[in-house]
Structure 1
């Protein structure tokens, strides 16, 4: 199995398929990540709010793989927004990971009710400029949030991690990101499994002798998205990474793109304000 990469706007290369650990219990995280690394994943996505950074770091250390071959993403939670708070939060997240640096650090949500995401972004800029992280970006940022960063910040986000799957594609936002050289990363790339029974996907999967999940992930890759599918099932972890032996035709890509229905599964970034403190 081969691993495609995308070059971010600062020259850093990110594996296009990552392993997500959202909702993976802390006690199960190390084993799941170790298994993913054994299969060939080299990009792991976690967050302070997931309460499992320690397990990710333990798996990275236990793998014996050179640190420079791995790409670790983590995120600033809402309750630690603000310039000084974000600086402290990054130090604490590294302590939990047991790593000297993260490859990518994201502002997890804009949390506009607190109106501190610009201050938080300036802290991430400071960390990046000082060499404490290889790249910085955002998650769940909409056009208005990106516009403020463009006006008040100095560094263009390397990536915007957003909910994106066949029935919720956020096309205007993804187009804006590409226009500004911000890579698009899809979380819930399979629609949390809800998209996979669609007859269009089932038919393409049967024609290609792959699973509907593999069809959807291949669609993401051919559109240039970074994807972070999550599973604790060993067979699915392997299948989600085994995407290089087939390709979708232009007509197949178009038929999947036509499934967009505005079916948001997660929270609305304009209103989500939970502190994410556990």
Structure 2
């Protein structure tokens, strides 16, 4: 899987499988990235909010693989909602990463996390942030720009005034939570959809129906989840610091039948994400 890529609207190629680094500190992230690269991964996803850009950058610079062969994503903090704040955050990310450019830069959320999915949609503010992203793109500081957690009207807001169209929208997408209409809308607009928490942050692993199907294919539930998203045309970003899991997560050379895909699309919505359910992306509220 490591050599398989999608092509973004600007021609940049992005590996279909990447390593997520959420909830890893600098030291853990650095080790995870080094392990992943040695296994064959060439795509790493981080964010300002993860507070591990320093560790990720250290690993990128020291892993022994040429920089141009690696694809690195980071995200502008959800709270940066002005042109100047976004511009400053971009410079801070480059400084922490210790890199001359990022392969993909995305707005982490259309709203600050404390107001996630609330009434204030920050439409005008996001347009300002997008202008800063466009300027960074033109300056060669980033190779591609996109969005994360943007609903259809959030995306339409950017499309209505942008000079450079968003190239990706990274969203929560997994068995038990498939935003089909949003995925279809993005794909129609040549926006690649990326799936974070593609294994439902582990909440799907004990699902009896899904486990039974994985057993039929002779694979793990995690592999079934990742293949499911790939067959929807999505990038998958499984997060792990375990090298064995990294290897298994990339062994996806099988095909889920059309009938089984339809079954998986209709798995009941997952409501409980365990100890991390309080995070806004899982429907919780920060306090």
Alignment TM-score, normalising by the size of structure 1? 0.92
Q: Partner residue of 1:159? A: 168
Q: Deviations over 1:28-71 (max 9, x none)?
A: 11111100111111000000110000111111111111111100
Q: How does 1:264-275 map to 2 (within 5 A)?
A: 266-267=279-280
* CA distance in 1: counterparts of 2:265 and 2:72, whole angstroms: 30
Q: Is the 8 A contact 2:172 2:281 kept in 1?
A: no
Q: Is the CA contact 1:5–1:15 (under 8 Å) kept in the aligned structure 2? A: yes
- The aligned residue for residue 237 of structure 2 is 228
For 1:188 and 1:113, locate their aligned partners in 2 and report how far apart those are by CA, in whole Å: 24
Q: CA deviation at 1:260?
A: 4.7
CA displacement 1:141-190 (0-9 Å, x = unmatched): 00111111111212111000001111111111111101111001011111
Q: Which runs of 5+ in 1 are unaligned?
A: none
Structure with more relative contact order (C-alpha pairs < 8 Å, separation 6 or more)? 1
In the TM superposition, 1:31-180 aligns within 5 A as 31-111=31-111, 112=120, 115-180=124-189
Root-mean-square deviation (CA, aligned residues, Å) is: 2.1
1:258 aligns with 2:266: yes
Secondary structure of 1:242's counterpart equals coil
Hey, what's the Cα distance between the residues in 2 that align with 1:151 and 1:247?
A: 38
Is the CA contact (8 Å cut-off) linking 1:42 and 1:71 kept in structure 2?
A: yes
**Higher mean C-alpha displacement, 127-136 vs 45-54:** 127-136
How many corresponding residue pairs?
Answer: 273
Match of 1:12 in 2: 12
Helix, strand or coil: the match of 2:6? strand
CA distance in structure 1 between the aligned counterparts of 2:248 and 2:281, rounded to whole angstroms: 30
CA offset at residue 81 of structure 1? Answer: 2.3
For residues 270 and 142 of structure 1, the distance between their equivalents in structure 2, rounded to whole angstroms, comes to: 14
TM-score (norm 2): 0.89
Q: Residues 146 and 249 (structure 1 numbering): CA distance in 2 closer, same or farther, change over 3 Å?
A: same
Give yes or no for contact 1:169–1:260 (8 Å, CA) kept in 2: no
Mean CA deviation greater in 7-16 or 80-89: 80-89
Distance 1:237 1:271, change over 3 A: closer
Correspondence for 1:202 among 193, 199, 211: 211
- Please list the CA deviations of residues 100-145 of structure 1 after superposition, one character each: whole Å capped at 9, or x if unmatched: 0000000111115555111001110111122221100000000111
Give me the whole-angstrom Cα distance separating, in 2, the residues matched to 1:270 and 1:192. Answer: 13
Distance 1:262 1:127, change over 3 A: same
- 1:227 match: secondary structure: strand
CA contact (8 A) 1:200 1:255 kept: no
Q: Cα offset for 1:78?
A: 2.3
Local SS of the residue matching 2:170: strand
Distance 1:211 1:273, change over 3 A: closer
Distance 1:129 1:91 in 2: 14
The Cα shift of 1:196 comes to: 2.2
